[in-house]
A and B are shown apart, each in its own frame.
Chain A
Amino acid sequence: MQASPPAWTDNAALAAVDIACRRGDRLLFRGVGFALNPGEALHLAGPNGIGKSSLIRILAGLLRPFAGSVERTGAAALLDERPALDPQWPLGKALAFWAGLDGASAPAHEEALARLGLARLLDVPVRYLSTGQKKRAALARVIGQQAPLWLLDEPLNGLDRDAVALVEVLVAEHCMAGGIAVIASHQPFALAGLVRCELERHVP
């Protein structure tokens, strides 16, 4: 169940048309296309180095595709291997910076922290947190952004079994509320109605 109504009102959409990605002089993939409507989620699967992260960055608009185009309606939240939190600051202060920037309401912010098991860690400097704790902190940032599009790059890396289940629940709730999620992961991701995109099929 969703504690607060989602902040977006207009319908979100994410469509990729015939995307190709080149890194250096190597063509990673080509002809990737899909269209996601509110409530839908996509699993980008494939082995390491196939270009999952590059595709996520292309979808986020941070990287220009070699060919093809991306159509985004609505803001996008990105979770990748970098938590984007100041390592010398306590977790609470580092997350409060993003919560303030995103205009997250205080109750929603605190609820996200409690659900992700971060409430105890707010005084701990970010650099002392473990990989899994940093990942959960980054998830709190993503939730706080209240963006309709979630772009999650390896969201399960470094998480224990309980946290993995929690992430799957969080993504399911996000989609139930009309959000869109793209999950790039080499691990299985349990979610009802998850569409799978095998990047290996698009390797030239």
Chain B
Amino acid sequence: MIGPLGRIFLRDCALLVPGGRRGGSLLPLLFFLAVAMLYPFAVGPDAPLLARTGGGVVWVAALLAAILPLDRLVAPDLERGLFDQWALRGIAEEAVMAVRLAAHWLSFGPPLMLATLPAAALLGIDGPTLRTVELGLLAGTPGLAAIGMLIAALTASLRSGAALAGLLLIPLAVPILIFGAGSLTTGGESGLALTAAISLLLLAITPFAAGAAIRAAREG
């Protein structure tokens, strides 16, 4: 027997996880791979340079790919009245947002980490660096997903919310980028730990802030 939140989680996954006939968009993944593919063309076939900068490129591509799904995260359900129906059933906005955050990360983090493998091959990243990149993404993508979720909820009721969301995400994601990509040059665990710490903090705040944003949008 699955509860109401379990059903909402399954619905969110069905709508957000890429692939499938009615699944979410593959666009963020393809975008991510396209950046990894274009970068060697742009800087030329200089293998040491590619290997040295490749990790950073993967990080930038991941950050930019995080922008793409934002307009589908909250705004459609708000427009279609699903949040109102959940509220009438006594399901808190915070709970809905926490569930959706989990579904959003599942549809975004693990696929990106998988796509990093072919990207690493394209950029000529070596094994230890790839391991650091993957661990960094594991620590950082929950934070990126949380920032995206928060921004999507805040801009859901705005007319040009989608464009604004992209602009808002970039400055907020800079700390994750600095520590996540920074762990590549220092090669240390401290960068990864700080990335994970930022992610955890964002994961804790986001359901409450996003829930409040939904309620505020209702009053507007």
Write the residues of chain A forming the contact surface with B, with a CB cutoff of 8 angstroms. Answer: 60-64, 75-78, 80, 82-89, 97-98, 100-102, 141, 145, 147
Say which residue of A89, A101, A145 sits within 8 Å of B4 (CB atoms).
A101
Could you name 21 residue pairs across A and B whose Cβ atoms are closer than 8 Å? A60-B84, A60-B88, A61-B87, A62-B87, A62-B88, A62-B218, A63-B218, A78-B85, A80-B84, A82-B79, A82-B80, A84-B82, A84-B84, A84-B85, A85-B80, A87-B80, A100-B7, A101-B7, A101-B8, A101-B89, A141-B85
Which 6 A-B residue pairs are closest in the complex by CB-CB distance?
Answer: A82-B81, A84-B81, A84-B85, A84-B82, A101-B4, A100-B7
Query: Total A-B pairs in contact (CB under 8 Å)?
Result: 51
CA distance A63 to B216 in the complex (A): 10
Please judge, given known A-B contacts A63-B218, A101-B7, whether A89 and B22 are in contact too, CB under 8 Å: yes
> Which of these, A83, A86, A88, A102, contacts B89 with CB under 8 Å?
A102
Distance between B48 CB and nearest chain A CB, rounded to angstroms: 47
Residues of chain B within 8 A of A89, CB atoms compared = 22
CB distance from B91 to the nearest CB of A (A): 8
Q: Which residue of B has the minimal Cβ distance to A89?
A: B22
Among A64, A82, A89, A145, the one with the most B-chain Cβ atoms within 10 Å of its Cβ is: A82
Minimum distance in angstroms from B146 CB to a CB of chain A: 24
Given contacts A75-B90, A84-B85, list 12 more A-B pairs with CB under 8 A.
A61-B87, A62-B84, A63-B219, A77-B88, A78-B84, A78-B85, A82-B81, A82-B84, A84-B80, A84-B82, A86-B15, A101-B8
Q: In the bound complex, how far is the Cα of B20 from the Cα of A89, in angstroms?
A: 12
Nearest opposing residue in chain B for A87, CB measure: B80
Partner of B80, one of A83, A97, A101, A145: A83
Q: A82-B79, A88-B22 are in contact. Are A98 and B219 (CB under 8 A)?
A: no
For window 171-206 of B, CB contacts with A under 8 Å fall at: none
Q: Which of B8, B15, B88, B218 contacts A78 (CB 8 A)?
A: B88
The smallest beta-carbon distance between A184 and chain B, in angstroms, is 15
Nearest CB on B from A103, distance (A): 9
Contact, CB under 8 Å: A80 / B81: yes
Q: B11 on the interface (CB 8 Å rule)?
A: yes
Complex CA gap A147/B15 in Å reads: 28
Q: Measured between alpha carbons, how far is A21 from B209 in the docked complex, in Å?
A: 27
Residues of B within 8 A of A60 (CB): 84, 88
